[in-house]
Structure 1
Amino acid sequence: MDYTQLTIKSKLPDIKTTIFTTVGNLAREHNAIDLSQGFPNFEADRELLSLVTKAMHEGHNQYAPMPGYYGLREVISEKIESLHNHHYNPESEITITVGATQAIFTAITAFIGLGDEVIVIKPAYDCYEPAIILNGGNPVLIQLDTPDYKVDWEVFKTKITPKTKMVIINTPHNPSGTILSKKDMEKLQDILKPTNIILLSDEVYEHIIFDSQTHHSASQFKDLAERSFVCASFGKTFHVTGWKMGYCAAPAALMAEFRKVHQFAVFCADHPVQRALASYLKNASHYLDLNNFYQKKRDLFLQGIKSSKFTFKPSQGTYFQLLDYTALSNEDDEIIGKRLITEHKIASIPISSFNLNNRNDYKLRFCFAKKQETLEKAIEILCRL
């Protein structure tokens, strides 16, 4: 057989390279200040780094148990119970994952098959839809409206059909920086209560909430908790996105199916990092103080650009801020985003990439998880425009 004639049929024919890779490459090419991709440019806590080194030297360098190191699952269970008054059994209801993205992909793969419908709320992080499509499912998309990006629950109800197998929510929400209120979560609970629909709750920014507001996890609502996968990220929380370390919590029956996929996808996550996190999490201030830490960065950024032509609603959560550029230009966001990189040396993410049919909201997403000097340089550029 002449393998040069091999015919390849893509399972994701419409999927292109992610906007994060495209913008990141362009930013490096033009030596631009990069406020696009969501990762900090400052170091993690030295205590955490030392704990990983200690775990390596103590010999924890072979496979961890498939569901994760029990000591870490135990402290996660205690954390969730303390914050949200819901108990997850560390043995059967918590699994340590290779980042939250793997947790999300695994939950979808475990339950979504040919023809199943999954409701996705747009703008949405870009890993949801490809995972649904790869598994033969059909994304059912609900577009939120600018500038508030609030869910219209009456519209949401109309999207539920007998084929609806799963709903995906994300709070705090990337890219809008909004959060789902207690009333929102109660409304969602009421809508899903008479159904057999699984909820996938992406809560990777759970500890980054501003202005004394509260994160309302799916785990704190009884009926939602009974049907939910709650996915979280240590990488986002502890400034170590490159470690790709997260976890998933769900009722035992759901988690049993999750682990069937997990064991053959990755088997287990990094062992010494799990040991380190088990120790580090015992000091609750390491995550409870994060709100104040990032609010100072958000406020520095927003105070700095007050004299610019950008307008904004302050982010309620995450480490992202949307800026409206309509006073500067009526160009599509991808065009002005590219010009800001090539001509002004500052990188952001165009929001159309997250929207249904690439709708242009005339907004760019900026990441403020950066050193003060980086933010100050960015502010200077944005105020000159």
Structure 2
Amino acid sequence: MPALSSRTANFTDSVIRRMTRISNQYGAVNLSQGFPDFEPPREILERLAQVTKEDFHQYAITWGAQNFREALAAKIQHFSGVSVNPNEELVVTCGSTEAMMAAMMSVTNPGDKVIVFSPFYENYGADTILSGADPIYVPLIPPTFRFDEAVLEDAFKQRPKAIIVCNPSNPCGKVFTREELETIATLAKKYDTFVITDEVYEHILYKPNVHTYMASLPGMKERTITCNSLSKTYSITGWRLGYTQANPEITERIKKVHDFLTVGAAAPLQEAAVTGLKFGDDYYSCLQEKYTSKRDLFLRGLDSIGLNHTVPEGAYYILIDISEFGYESDLEFAEVLARDVGVGSVPGSSFFKESENRYVRLHFAKKDETLNEALNRLSDIRKKIKK
């Protein structure tokens, strides 16, 4: 038999998705994979029920249904201040996962370099390798997860084709300040680099933090490719509706890559999701209040147990410091946590390029009763986990 691809030889399965399977195996409260256990907005579900009886069962336009793109363009402009041509600057994808892959394949050539901040969502390194590019990892330094400007510029001096910026960040919950984004923008212009952003948590923020859209900064719309999705904003992670937003020249290339990757996103789901894209500002204010309440509930519980943790500025993830338990392998700890305590987590090492085994990631996009059950199980963690 011929050899398999050397490019993918070192790939593992997704650690995040693996931890969901382990959580299910042990009957653990699954705080590993980041999806909610509460329903999407009622209005979207009601529209979906209607759509099943209407004529939306065949292919939509490859790069997205017209009304979906028009509603999406209006929403983006409302929140970011960036004008968007729905016909020339948007591609609707099968989730932000495909959006990132299509963006990477559209701008990089084999042998190009791409800057990735560490910690990072696990797909970014894989996307870089699948594109034939080489990642340059720049550390975000705990506990504030700020970057060292000199280290970042050293990475830019290697003339990367692109930099990936996840804002708000998964897994560390960092919200990049405007000043930090301006630093990145200045370097991107200086070294003629694309900026590929992942902004799926744009509306999940905790005061006083504010989300700044990279494409809204002076001179950045032309070189920014925004990857985003509806998954987290409307609690529809299984619908797999994402998109890219970029200038017409880049978008034209992404359309072609997208066409050969997946042809198009699901037509009935696009039609139903238009309802959500047209929600007023009150929906997003309530979303922020909802997640702020969940964050505060979970942080209070962790504090009462005495577990050291990060405090997220955005998104819905917390890194728990497990140093006190003395495990050399955070992967082993995560499995023991699921088996013996009954709480599913993700080993932090799966997010870091650096050698880092002191964290596990938990998320709090769950009903309050689910979070309280997880906290109840964690309350006697020191009795159940001993090394």
Instruction: Name the TM tier (shorter chain).
Output: over 0.9
Q: Does the Cα contact within 8 Å between 2:198 and 2:228 map onto a contact in 1?
A: yes
1:119-160 Cα offsets, whole Å, 9 max, x none, are 111111111111211221111111222211112222100012
Unaligned 5+ segments in structure 1 are none
Q: Does the Cα contact within 8 Å between 2:44 and 2:276 map onto a contact in 1?
A: yes
- Partner Cα separation in structure 2 for residue 214 and residue 338 of structure 1: 36
- Counterpart pick for 1:77 among 67, 73, 82: 73
Q: Which amino acid is the alignment partner of residue 352 of structure 2? A: N
- Partner Cα separation in structure 2 for residue 344 and residue 365 of structure 1: 15
- Partner residue, 1:294: 291
- Partner residue, 2:341: 344
- Partner Cα separation in structure 1 for residue 332 and residue 145 of structure 2: 23
Pairwise CA distance, 1:163 = 4.0
Q: Which amino acid is the alignment partner of residue 167 of structure 2? A: T
Pairwise CA distance, 1:331 = 4.0
Q: Does the Cα contact within 8 Å between 2:31 and 2:363 map onto a contact in 1?
A: yes
Pairwise CA distance, 1:113 = 1.4
Q: Which amino acid is the alignment partner of residue 295 of structure 1? A: T
Task: Identify if the C-alpha distance between structure 1 residues 113 and 256 changes in structure 2 by more than 3 Å, giving closer, same or farther.
Answer: same
User: What TM-score results when the alignment is normalised by the length of structure 1?
Assistant: 0.95
Instruction: Kindly report which structure 2 residues correspond to 1:122-201, keeping only aligned pairs within 5 A, or say none.
Output: 122-161=118-157, 163-201=159-197
1:278-334 Cα offsets, whole Å, 9 max, x none, are 222212233343111111111111112222131123211111112223344454322
- Partner residue, 1:304: 301
2:12 partner SS = coil
Instruction: Kindly report which structure 2 residues correspond to 1:54-73, keeping only aligned pairs within 5 A, or say none.
Output: 54-73=50-69
- Partner Cα separation in structure 1 for residue 353 and residue 311 of structure 2: 23
Q: Does the Cα contact within 8 Å between 1:309 and 1:328 map onto a contact in 2?
A: no
1:235-287 Cα offsets, whole Å, 9 max, x none, are 11111111111111111111111111011111211111111222222122333
- Partner Cα separation in structure 2 for residue 273 and residue 355 of structure 1: 34
- Partner residue, 2:43: 47
- Partner Cα separation in structure 2 for residue 326 and residue 24 of structure 1: 23
- Partner residue, 1:88: 84
- Partner residue, 1:258: 254
1:200 partner SS = strand
- Counterpart pick for 2:9 among 6, 13, 32: 13
Q: Between Structure 1 and Structure 2, how many residues are aligned?
A: 380
- Partner Cα separation in structure 2 for residue 58 and residue 222 of structure 1: 44
Q: Which amino acid is the alignment partner of residue 223 of structure 1? A: G
- Counterpart pick for 1:120 among 108, 111, 116: 116
- Partner residue, 1:103: 99
Q: Which amino acid is the alignment partner of residue 213 of structure 2? A: S
2:120 partner SS = coil
Unaligned 5+ segments in structure 2 are 382-387
1:336-362 Cα offsets, whole Å, 9 max, x none, are 2221111111111111111114422x1
Q: Does the Cα contact within 8 Å between 2:157 and 2:191 map onto a contact in 1?
A: no
- Partner residue, 2:279: 283
User: What TM-score results when the alignment is normalised by the length of structure 2?
Assistant: 0.94
- Partner Cα separation in structure 2 for residue 262 and residue 8 of structure 1: 25
Task: Identify if the C-alpha distance between structure 1 residues 132 and 313 changes in structure 2 by more than 3 Å, giving closer, same or farther.
Answer: closer
Measured on the aligned residues, the alpha-carbon RMSD in Å equals 1.5
Task: Identify if the C-alpha distance between structure 1 residues 72 and 288 changes in structure 2 by more than 3 Å, giving closer, same or farther.
Answer: farther
Q: Which amino acid is the alignment partner of residue 298 of structure 2? A: F
Indicate the percent of aligned positions where both proteins have the same amino acid. 31
Q: Does the Cα contact within 8 Å between 1:75 and 1:281 map onto a contact in 2?
A: yes
Q: Does the Cα contact within 8 Å between 1:309 and 1:325 map onto a contact in 2?
A: no
- Counterpart pick for 2:368 among 369, 372, 376: 372
- Counterpart pick for 1:248 among 216, 231, 244: 244
Q: Which amino acid is the alignment partner of residue 214 of structure 1? A: V
- Partner residue, 2:311: 314
2:335 partner SS = helix
Task: Identify if the C-alpha distance between structure 1 residues 286 and 57 changes in structure 2 by more than 3 Å, giving closer, same or farther.
Answer: farther
Q: Which amino acid is the alignment partner of residue 199 of structure 1? A: V
